[in-house]
Structure 1
Amino acid sequence: MSIAFLYAGQGSQHPGMGADLYETYPQFRAVLDGADLDFDVKEVSFQDSQGVLNETRYTQPCMVAFAVGVTQILNHEGIRPDYVAGLSLGEYSALQAAGVFNPQQAISLVAFRGKVMAEAAKGVPCGMTAVLGLDREKLEQACEQASALGVVCIANYNCPGQLVIGGHQEAVDEAARLAKEMGARRCMPLKVSGPFHTPLLKPAGDALAEKFKGETFGEMQVPVLFNCLGREKGPDDTIPALLERQVQSSVYMEDTIRRLAELGVDTIVEIGPGKVLSGFVRKTTPEIKTYAVETVADVQALVQALK
């Protein structure tokens, strides 16, 4: 058996996530209790009484705290990955699982990342739209034609027939219109706070590059597949440069999943609220078995299945 851990990205968060894990597992409790942030990660994750969980600067550290906590539980149970990857902010959880970041470092870095992403998007008339039922080559053509109106590109290559475009609102709307003419089944505007994974996030990439100069990066103990590559890093790639690039360029999740299959992975454990990535895996490489871990019951079922 060859196992990959795949970490969820922003969008699947919800109040109450991790509450039962916190009550049950000391490994999970230690991660959340140790989170040194300017807000209470437990209150926002469990109750969200102020209604801020969906704001990027809160979402990102809460999601990574959850993911890191689950990783600690699984490691304690003797379940360790052969490969790791994550969608967008999930890449930081993957790097933590691989030994590049310690748990609190991963949480504090994504807290910073969330803030600079929100700042980069402030005041920019922008949007993101999911495009269903169109192949990537045609959508790339639509974006190229619409780019006369502003920045627009494919931000997420999720799985066959499911892509996301982002950029300036006018250009995104035009690309979606062209996509429908080219045969897209559906174009759905997404409720997001910024044009993530597009060149409009370059200020966030620049801020991250500066931040990383003061960070210590550990040696990678497990191979990580990177968003902006869709594969493992090459000999000339550095992790800080890849993370700087990641925030402002496309996420190649479909390519990542296909690469995991090439590497012989037969089991993927999705870590994070929801089962979005498991859905991508089923549509891309249905031969790979998937498990999604969000609750105590999920942990117990996974331990039973893998042992």
Structure 2
Amino acid sequence: MNAYIFPGQGAQFVGMGLDLYEKYPLAQKMFETANEILDFSITDLMFEGTPEDLKETKVTQPAIFLHSVIMSKVMGDSFKPDMVAGHSLGEFSALVANGALNFEDGLKLVFQRAMAMQKACEIQPSTMAAVLGLDDAIVEKICAEIPGIVVPANYNCPGQLVISGDVDAINAACEKLKEAGARRALVLPVGGAFHSPLMEPAREELAAAIENTVFNIPSCAIYQNVPTTAVNDPEAIKANLIAQLTAPVKWTQSVQQMVADGATLFTEVGPGKVLQGLVKKIHPGAETMSAELE
């Protein structure tokens, strides 16, 4: 079975999407529609912007979404997923790709999500840190013992877990994790504590937008970050999308479940190859590839 997977924040690069724009009339039309919906020229920032431009949450999230979704659309009939999944933001790309959301609504929600997360980041100084070389259970235990807010945020693959929380708690946790034998506990250059309780204001804002958006029955199941199991019901998809902002991204568990349900080939659609690397670490026997365009 072919699983299509969609990357999240961090996969952006300067010039992303320009090849699609120049080669495919459908891509050009979708990019122009995006400029109108967003009310600024995201194509200028994607094609010619600086790395700093692309790091802004309000640019990064719609840019990665656009690259992934447009790529899936220009693949035409060769895009035949048996199942889909997306890492954090990538979940929105996956939901447009499998027909649960239309393109315009998906882009609007991604932009609202980005703006809401940006606002939540400004309320309290917060950050994230990558922890390498420790069992998840040890990281969870240490986080639970630290005063303040610090929680597991991204279960990326065995031995790689990202934690999220307020700055002091993250710094304290990093020290404890190094003492416990972590190979690295490195604070990341991010705007705030994504996938933690500090995103609650963003979750509330996005919940209203998601509830007012029409979701369809998808063409195939999505393995969402929160439950990690196959989901087809539009109402359940909505609830999981809302929960995702303050809950951890369980990528390891999602991939394990997809393999258990028959996935043999994982095709990454969008910028970069980060997810292929994670899949290989989660299930070394899996075949991975980047989406191929005609």
Report TM bin, short chain.
over 0.9
Match of 2:28 in 1: 29
- From the superposition, tell whether residues 87 and 236 of structure 1 become closer, same or farther in structure 2 (CA, over 3 Å): closer
TM-score by structure 1 length? 0.91
1:225-304 → structure 2 map (5 Å cutoff): 225-233=223-231, 238-293=236-291, 298-300=292-294
Match of 1:134 in 2: 134
Match of 1:106 in 2: 106
**Structure 1 residue 286: Cα displacement:** 1.4
Equivalent-residue separation in structure 2 for 1:50 and 1:267 (angstroms) = 32
8 A Cα contact 2:6 2:91, kept in partner: yes
SS in 2 for 1:64: helix
1:1-307 → structure 2 map (5 Å cutoff): 2-35=1-34, 36-48=37-49, 51-74=52-75, 76-146=76-146, 148=147, 150-233=148-231, 238-293=236-291, 298-300=292-294
SS in 1 for 2:205: helix
Question: Is the deviation greater in 27-36 or in 122-131?
Answer: 27-36
Summarize deviations over 1:190-216 as a string: whole Å, max 9, x none.
110110000100111100111123211
**Structure 1 residue 49: Cα displacement:** 5.5
- From the superposition, tell whether residues 187 and 288 of structure 1 become closer, same or farther in structure 2 (CA, over 3 Å): same
Equivalent-residue separation in structure 2 for 1:167 and 1:69 (angstroms) = 33
SS in 1 for 2:61: helix
Question: Is the deviation greater in 214-223 or in 198-207?
Answer: 214-223
8 A Cα contact 2:225 2:249, kept in partner: yes
Equivalent-residue separation in structure 2 for 1:79 and 1:211 (angstroms) = 29
> What is the aligned length?
292
Equivalent-residue separation in structure 1 for 2:181 and 2:158 (angstroms) = 14
Question: Is the deviation greater in 234-243 or in 163-172?
Answer: 234-243
SS in 2 for 1:85: strand
CA-based RMSD of the aligned residues comes to 1.6
Equivalent-residue separation in structure 1 for 2:288 and 2:256 (angstroms) = 14
The runs of 5 or more residues in structure 1 that have no matched partner are: 301-307
TM-score by structure 2 length? 0.95
Q: Counterpart of 1:93 in structure 2: which amino acid? A: S
Question: Is the deviation greater in 77-86 or in 7-16?
Answer: 77-86
**Structure 1 residue 104: Cα displacement:** 1.6
Equivalent-residue separation in structure 1 for 2:271 and 2:255 (angstroms) = 19
Equivalent-residue separation in structure 2 for 1:234 and 1:110 (angstroms) = 20
Q: Counterpart of 2:94 in structure 1: which amino acid? A: A
